[in-house]
Structure 1
Amino acid sequence: MKSVEIRGIESKDFDIWLPLWKGYQRFYEVDISEHVTLETWKRFLAPTEPMHAALAMIGEQVVGLVHSIYHRSAWTMNDDCYLQDLFVASGGRGLGVGRALIEHVYADAKRHGASRVYWLTQESNHNAKQLYDRIADRSGFIHYRKPIT
């Protein structure tokens, strides 16, 4: 079996990133508009933006994505890294792709001098939680949100 390679996105990667992004949206039963998707892609590529994206490759096949965002925290001196999106296509599941993507974010956060990496998942995402419980600590916090329109 070939090893998993994680690499930052490049501008030419939009057409291989988009199917994974759509798969992620299907998994979470959301439909993010094309306008937001295109703006998000531009942000990933802009050097002044705190948003980052990487792809997981097995050979020539793209099998996963991860998105992260750096931001200030009132609790630490250095930025926090929010691992916002993580998705592994069905062909990459069970091969260590999810873990490799998270480890990539950990390494990137260390290079950026971040204080910590954190993320959220749905309570019903049992497969992912099995991995997350092995490589991170649960915060004990409950996530609330209110859309502002």
Structure 2
Amino acid sequence: MPDVQIKPVTPDDHAQWLPLWQAYLRFYKTELPESVSQSTWERLLDGSEPTHAALAWKDGNAVGMVHFIYHRSNWSIHNACYLQDLIVAPEQRGTGVGRLLIQHVYVTAKQDGCDKVHWLTHETNATAIQLYERIAQRPGYIQFRKML
């Protein structure tokens, strides 16, 4: 594992978070208005919001990012945790940073009373799928959506 520290974001981390967020959006070939990114950042810092973020730090630079959201479930008394966004800087991929970020979410969500962590990835994201199949179960569900 690399010499990396995983830490929740703080207000001082915006300049390190934003390039990772923008890289994540580019990876998924999407664009969001600046107002959405600003609102996301504000929610990540607001303790009353169910959304959280952490950065992976190496040598004073953020080299990975994860966002996760707690939500109710009709199938459990406890909350679940949706790992929504995860990215590792290209030069750090394959070094264990992604695994550390996911493990951070596992530990944090469990400490906060969640009983499950779940996430999605695109079917073409073969590198990430290799990691995910080693650290989680693939339940076989197919996602459907309709934008409103």
TM-score (structure 1 length as normaliser): 0.97
> 2:64 is matched with which residue?
64
1:1-149 maps to which residues of 2 (within 5 A)?
Answer: 3-148=3-148
Aligned partners of 1:38, 1:67: CA distance in 2, in Å?
14
Unpaired runs of 5+ residues, structure 2, are: none
Aligned partners of 2:64, 2:33: CA distance in 1, in Å?
21
Shift in CA distance, 2/126, structure 1 to aligned 2, threshold 3 Å: closer
Quick one: which amino acid aligns to residue 85 of structure 1?
A: D
Q: Identify which range, 54-63 or 121-130, moves more after superposition.
A: 54-63
User: What RMSD in Å do the two structures reach over aligned CA positions?
Assistant: 1.0
Percent identity (aligned) = 51
Tell me the matched-pair count.
148
TM-score (structure 2 length as normaliser): 0.97
Shift in CA distance, 135/45, structure 1 to aligned 2, threshold 3 Å: same
Runs of 4+, deviation exceeding 6 Å? none
State the Cα deviation string for residues 78-103 of structure 1 (Å, max 9, x = none): 00000000000112111100000000
Unpaired runs of 5+ residues, structure 1, are: none
Shift of 1:2: 5.2
